[in-house]
Amino acid sequence: MSDDRMAKQYLDLAARAGARAFGAAEPNPLVGAVIVKDGVVIGVGHHRRFGALHAERDALLACRSGGHDPRGATLYCTLEPCCHHGKQPPCTEAVIEAGIERVVIASRDPGEVSGGGWALLEAAGIRVELCAASEQAMALSQPFLHRVATGRPWVIAKWAQTLDGRIATRTGASQWISNPRCRGRVHRLRAKVDAVMVGIGTVLADDPMLTARDCRNVRRVPKRVVLDTSGRLPRDSKLVQSAGEIPTIVYTADPMRLAGTAVIAEGSELDGDRLDLGWCLGHMHRVHGIATVLSESGPRLLGSLLERALIQEALVHVAPGVMGDAQAKPVAVGREVPTLDGMRRFRLLRTKRIDDDVELHYRSC
């Protein structure tokens, strides 16, 4: 087997391990690590939750717990080992002390604090290589790299649609297009993100709670975020009434309209006569520590997010029905696309049949 094929195999394994911590490790990156010696995997680890052992130390612990000696081995890691003291000591120290001979990584760490591990490892005589053979390993680090590069959270857009691309009837009825199992999967996803975001149109139409109430294993209780330019959020809405129990952030041009409620009203910068969505997302990340957002958007908000290229993932549930009504609500509105060059393109990651519905999972190109 060629070096690239072996590296892909081990980095894919590391990526699958790291992905298990989605919803537990953030705002830290998802990271997986595999230790290989003489062609045999002797340790697999990942960063299990925020504040816990980093992936490299977790893999070394698994290695030694299994009675193996890591000296002379190769470490495959989805992200460059860190070299700073935080909630955990530097991973580079553990790698050097363990006698690892070679380190293969899928992505460099661009962080001003955490980056620099490569140089320290090389200075200690360890051979370090960057390998792009594993798409899984590189994809695992993308949310973290995106946050570092943009200062904004990773945005997952979710919607349910008919076969003809409609998300609601002409009167706004949408409950329910997708089947119960699909809705259960959405609740489990809510239980892994930092915030669930909607526009005011969705609140006025559905009066949602935006909780993970049907999920048994709640890794985190997501904040609720409402984008409401003119402050139309009803005081008797479920979101306002439960804001004392679940943090609810409202971005608006007129925060005083929500005075006296338990919501966190944030005055937003404007883009013309609408909220500046890029500013809002940056503020969520910077002020409220939000690393991942599930956007359960209506057509107008989704169109605005697409227009500004602010969506990194899309989760689509397609139901086996056709409305056939030109006035039924489409997936997205508000954009002008005179040529196909203006179409936002996504790459299909996977599909899953859920009874008669189909789940499509995409990432932006």
Pairing of strands 32-37, 248-252: unpaired
- 8 A C-beta contact, residue 192 and residue 160: no
Q: What's the length of the chain?
A: 365
Which SS3 state, helix, strand or coil, does residue 295 take?
A: strand
Q: Which pairing describes strands 264-267 and 248-252: parallel, antiparallel, or unpaired?
A: parallel
Q: List the beta strands (DSSP E) in 15-73.
A: 32-37, 40-46
Outline where DSSP puts E strands in the chain: 32-37, 40-46, 74-77, 102-105, 127-130, 154-161, 166-168, 195-199, 223-227, 248-252, 264-267, 270-271, 274-275, 292-295, 313-318, 329-330, 346-354, 357-364
- Residue 38 to residue 98: CA distance in whole angstroms: 16
Q: Is 80 a catalytic residue?
A: no
**DSSP codes, 188-228:** HHHTTSSEEEEEHHHHHHH------TT-SS-S---EEEEE-
Q: What is the dihedral of CA 102, 108, 110, 112, to 10 degrees?
A: 0
- The CA-to-CA distance between both ends of the chain, in Å, stands at 31
Q: Which of 56, 296, 313, 359 is catalytic?
A: 56
Cα 211 to Cα 224: distance, rounded to the nearest angstrom? 8
Determine the Cα–Cα distance for residues 239 and 243; give it in Å rounded to an integer.
6
**Element holding 185 (H helix, E strand):** helix 180-190
Provide the annotated active-site residues: 56
